[in-house]
Amino acid sequence: MEEKKSKLILIAILILIVVIALIQNRGMAHFSFLFWKLSISQLLLIPLLLLIGFALGYLAGRRGQ
């Protein structure tokens, strides 16, 4: 039971850190790659990159099983 409570506290702290980062980074991010130029709000970019990172981590973890 204690381990479950510790995980919930850790998840809550991580969510709080992400929310604070989102609030502080509301500007635009500009990317150039080869012929493409993209401007996207950091408010959308940060969660998108987090989601991609979690998905890659999940897939990498499953691959080792």
- What Rg do the C-alpha atoms of the chain give, in angstroms? 16
Residue 26 makes CB contacts below 8 A (sequence gap 6+) with 41, 42, 43
Q: pLDDT per position in the chain (65 positions), as tens?
A: 688 888 899 989 988 998 888 788 888 888 898 898 989 888 888 888 889 998 998 998 887 66
pLDDT of 56 reads 93
At 41, phi and psi to the nearest 5?
A: -65, 135
